[in-house]
Chain A
Amino acid sequence: MNPLSWLFRRRAIDRDLDAEIRNHFRMAIKERIEGGEDPESARLAAINEFGNVLQAKEAARAVWRGGAVAMVTDVWQDVRFGTRMLIKNPGFSLVVIAVLTLGIAGNAAIFSLFKGLALKPLPGVRESSAIAVMLSRTSSGRHTGMSHPDYRYMKEHDQAFADLAGSIMIFASVGLGSDATRSVAELVTGDYFQALGVGAQLGRTLQQSDDVAQGQHPIAVIGDGLWRRSYGADPNVIGKTLYLNGQPLTIVGVADPEFRGTVVSMVVDVFVPIMMQPVVFPPGRLDQRNAMMMMTAGHLKPGVTITEAAAQTRVLAAQLDASEPIPNFASRATVIPIWQSPYGAQTYWLPAIGLLGGMGLLILLVVCANVANLVLVRGVSRRGELAVRLALGASRRRLLRLLFVENLVLAIPGALGGVALASFILPFIGSSAASSAPTQVYLDTSVDGYVLAFALGLSCACALVFGFVPALKTSRVDLITLMNDISPRMATRGMMRSALVVSQVAVSLVLLIGAGLVLRSYSAARHADGGFNSQNVTALAIDLQTSGYDEARGLELVNRFLDAAQTEPAFESATLASNVPLSLVDNASRAVTIEGYAPRADEDLSFLFNVVSPDYFRTLKIPLLAGRDFTRTDDKNATPAVIVNETLARRMWQTPEDAIGKRLKTATGDWRSIVGVARDLKYSRLSEEPRPFVYYPLLQNYMPTLIVHARSIGDSASALRRVRDHVQKLNPSIPIVRSMMLSEQTRVALSVYELAAGALTMFGVMTIVLAAIGIYGLVAYTVQQSTQEIGIRMAIGANRMDVLWDFLRRGAMLAGIGAVIGLVLAAAASGAIRSLLYGVGARDAIAFGGGTLVVMSIAIVASMVPAWRASRTDPLSALRHQ
């Protein structure tokens, strides 16, 4: 009989068997009665002779079962039993599922981020996680791009890649004049779209025929985002003209909707043939072997691993080195997986994900510990049932499977709830991150099959962790011992429970202290003095390079702007600079030689700098500690000037006054005299240490991309409009790539604190709630176990307060131990986030003290409830309790 037909005939077999055994008994009893026994003793004797009826029936049934099908029906039976138990204990079940939902939601959200960065990094591209990237490596180990001639050589001779597309990513202005916006564009090779498996939803993609001659292919494919934003999804967009950095291109297609380019998390709006590079992003560099500007991406041939590809590429690179060497490069071509590429969000997000993931798993462990406690309590009350099952013939393995399935029945709704919660909160996290980004950002953090599988796997692991250990213990019950025992003091079990609660308290204290530190940093940062005054100051970015301005014309424009700004009544003062302060990332630095100063062997005289026009310090209200600001006379005809900041001045010449008149120079250029010393600013982050900084005068050192700072009277909208008008009056086609107030830039710097504070607070609150539940459960359990004892003590004279105090003290003591451990851990670990903190020490007393206070008060409240109930016991009924 095969397993399938057994399923259908199961009932018939059962009925058969029942009848068969009933007949047996009938005949046995009849024969005994005929032999002279009375009916009752005949029946007992027949039963005695038979042995265990249930066991015999089970054994007979088991003969007919196939292996796998039997397991399935058994498991189904367990599932039904587990579901029934779940419904019968709604309080317990809801708490467990709710707690699991929270724990898994956090982890699912973090996993979604990871998925967007590493598992599905390039939406719309086939098998994007398997993409390999060919890059060069400098002598300091840093990966950077390849030159165009090198790329063509590699592509021609390479054997490891099935396809290898190349591209250059640029920030460019799309549109003309005041309508120009800053976007990301990729200049791509002819096989780009084919290699990535991306098509066009309208028109066509770029092809090999568009990759022939430099400057001869003035066409573009636009991305879905740009199509919808700027063209309203117009189906007649093909053939229209698009201006990229002021150059006209004909639109030939719109790319597939999910595709967003090959830089992880960046949304590329325009795809242009790489042969147009000299036109849209001059000067032409396609023939220069030292212009390492190209990224590449492709799929390896089936069966080729990254290591093999890297080895082959190294050989080819060596051949190329022999004929066309370039200095400073350890390897001009090597192959790495896309998640290691320095281009894209994964470089700075993946390490953060690691940290977040670790935290999330820690929370989940706390959750499991909590649930394990609850399950243990429930397990204790089920010992009777389990012992009976064992006596009826269930094998221990069967019992363990039952307990595991029951825990799964709890864990799986937790997983589904967690995924649902994660999909709810992810958009909020995503939108807050995107709003602070300068260009369009996109990560595929949708909750899909990967995330669901992860959540389910995690929940099964949880079921194992919190179900297995208690299950192991409860499966060792023995019916006889159980029946003879009244209320055993499970000393070892109590130890484990206490340890779990203590660890929960410790972890929640660590998280709350972290949250406290970051929150205090945040409030300090909000009132921080970055060293400059950003009130009513604009930060409008213009790009002179793409409008075809060379140095002479550019400087002339700057002068004309400064003239016009002086006559504008609404402007208190105006200036131009190449960088904004608090820029979050360090901009470039330049190596400097200081007259009369020989640097030590390990001293690095490379300083950050900004190129500023006259009136910079006045506009941003940065005090000058010595000397003067740049003036209009500091131009090409005057002595080269320079201004340094206080840290640099004091480092080299002890006082700011002594620095005036001293000279320094850069690698290229003449000696400059220091004409002024400015007070320090925060140049990238609010929490940075003071460091040396140099200001070069714009009129002597032209920079094509500039920020216009105008301190104006009136509201920000009118201020920005006025600046815009002035710029456009000078030349209407100058692209204004960004238009915001300087105070907004400061706000972006704070957003990091906001995010960290929010995350830590959320985690901290979650764990303290869990710890409170844990303490409550433990004290309540102890009370229940000691009911008789309480009765005795009350009977011999203890009053209610004594009882209350006794149990309260137990809970508080556990919490106290946990708090001490938490404090030690927090003190040790807080050094790790010192770089984030602002205005507070890593051992800040208020954060540590406040956190401890919160934890202890919650613990005491949690112990109070069962302790109070204990004090209310009626001694008589307690004494009778068993």
Chain B
Amino acid sequence: MEQKHYRPRLEILQGTLDMLILQTLQWGPTHGYAIGQTIRTESAESLKIETGSLYPALHRLERQGWVKSDWRLTEANQRAKFYRLTPKGKKQLLQERDRWSQLVSAIGTILNPKRSRG
């Protein structure tokens, strides 16, 4: 059973999603729905992730100790589960950003060769 279903959304690698979540949380603790919205708006609507995949990712991050969760009231006085970045998480975010930049520049070098091959 190897059928390909048509996926209109960009497939985002698990590690990349983690990084985006951590980045989003840098601006203060929020709940899962808001994280999804933020990623969408901040990417100018080009990154529409399956919001369902946020929740496993959030729980994974919490298990690693990079975020912590607790239940709070939203502005609309509804109970929601808020996530916030931990110091470990902050360090992890910096590492991932570093790695991402290296990856991007490496790929960029291959795609745009600066000197011609002899």
Contacts and interface: CB of A to CB of B under 8 A. Distances in A.
B81 A23 contact: yes
A50 B52 contact: yes
Contacts of B80: 20, 23, 27
Nearest to A55: B52
A478 B31 CA distance: 38
Nearest to B37: A31
A322 interface: no
Contacts of A23: 31, 33, 78-81
Interface stretch (A56-64, A369-377, A409-417, A591-599): A56-64
Interface string A13-48: 000110111011011100000000000000000000
A60 B51 contact: no
B56 interface: yes
B56 A59 contact: yes
B59 A24 contact: no
B32 A24 contact: yes
B60 A63 contact: yes
B33 A28 contact: yes
A27 B55 contact: no
B11 to A, nearest CB: 12
A52 interface: yes
Q: Which one of A27, A52, A53, A480 has the highest number of Cβ atoms from chain B below 10 Å of its Cβ?
A: A27
Given A19-B81, A23-B31, A26-B78, A51 B55 contact: no
A557 interface: no
Contacts of B78: 23, 26-27
Contact of B33 (A24, A64, A476): A24
B53 interface: yes
B115 interface: no
Contacts of A20: 31-32, 55, 80-81
Contacts of A50: 50-52
B20 to A, nearest CB: 17
Contacts of B59: 17, 60, 63-64
Interface residues of B, number: 21
A21 B32 CA distance: 9
Contacts of B55: 17, 20-21, 24, 56-57, 59-60
A44 to B, nearest CB: 14
A26 B31 CA distance: 13
A478 B52 CA distance: 25
B56 A60 contact: yes
A28 B32 CA distance: 11
Contacts of A53: 52
B1 interface: yes
Q: How large is the interface on A (under 10, 10 to 19, 20 to 34, 35 or more residues)?
A: 20 to 34
Contacts of B56: 56, 59-60, 62-63
Q: Which one of B31, B33, B53, B60 has the highest number of Cβ atoms from chain A below 10 Å of its Cβ?
A: B33
B81 A52 contact: no
B63 A478 contact: no
Contacts of A1: 63
A15 to B, nearest CB: 12
Contacts of A63: 56, 59-60, 63
Interface string B62-90: 01000000000010001111000000000
B50 A51 contact: yes
A390 B1 contact: yes
Contacts of A28: 33, 51
A715 interface: no
Nearest to B56: A59
Contacts of B74: 27
A67 B31 CA distance: 29
Q: Which one of B53, B74, B79 has the highest number of Cβ atoms from chain A below 10 Å of its Cβ?
A: B53
Contacts of B58: 60
A49 interface: yes
Contacts of B32: 20, 24
B52 A52 contact: yes
B50 to A, nearest CB: 4
A152 B32 CA distance: 88
Contacts of A27: 31, 33, 74, 78, 80
A5 to B, nearest CB: 13
A604 to B, nearest CB: 74
A52 B48 CA distance: 15
B71 to A, nearest CB: 8
Q: Which one of A19, A60, A64 has the highest number of Cβ atoms from chain B below 10 Å of its Cβ?
A: A60
B113 to A, nearest CB: 39
Q: Which one of A21, A63, A64 has the highest number of Cβ atoms from chain B below 10 Å of its Cβ?
A: A63
A26 B80 CA distance: 11
B1 A49 contact: no
Nearest to A30: B76
Contacts of B60: 63
Nearest to A391: B1
Contacts of B81: 16, 19-20, 23
Interface in A52-94: 52-53, 55-57, 59-60, 62-64
A63 B50 CA distance: 18
A408 B53 CA distance: 36
A51 B48 CA distance: 12
A63 B33 CA distance: 20
A535 to B, nearest CB: 80
A478 B55 CA distance: 28
Contacts of B51: 24, 28, 49-51
List 9 A-B pairs, minimum CB-CB distance, nearest first.
A59-B56, A56-B52, A51-B52, A51-B50, A63-B59, A50-B52, A60-B59, A27-B33, A60-B56
Interface of A: 1, 16-17, 19-21, 23-24, 26-28, 49-53, 55-57, 59-60, 62-64, 390, 476, 478, 480
Interface of B: 1, 3, 31-33, 48, 50-53, 55-56, 58-60, 63, 74, 78-81
Given A1-B63, A23-B78, A53-B52, 9 more contacts: A17-B55, A19-B79, A20-B31, A24-B31, A27-B31, A50-B51, A51-B52, A56-B53, A63-B56
19 contacts: A20-B31, A23-B31, A27-B80, A28-B51, A49-B48, A49-B51, A51-B51, A51-B53, A52-B52, A55-B52, A56-B53, A60-B58, A63-B56, A63-B63, A64-B59, A64-B63, A390-B1, A478-B1, A480-B3
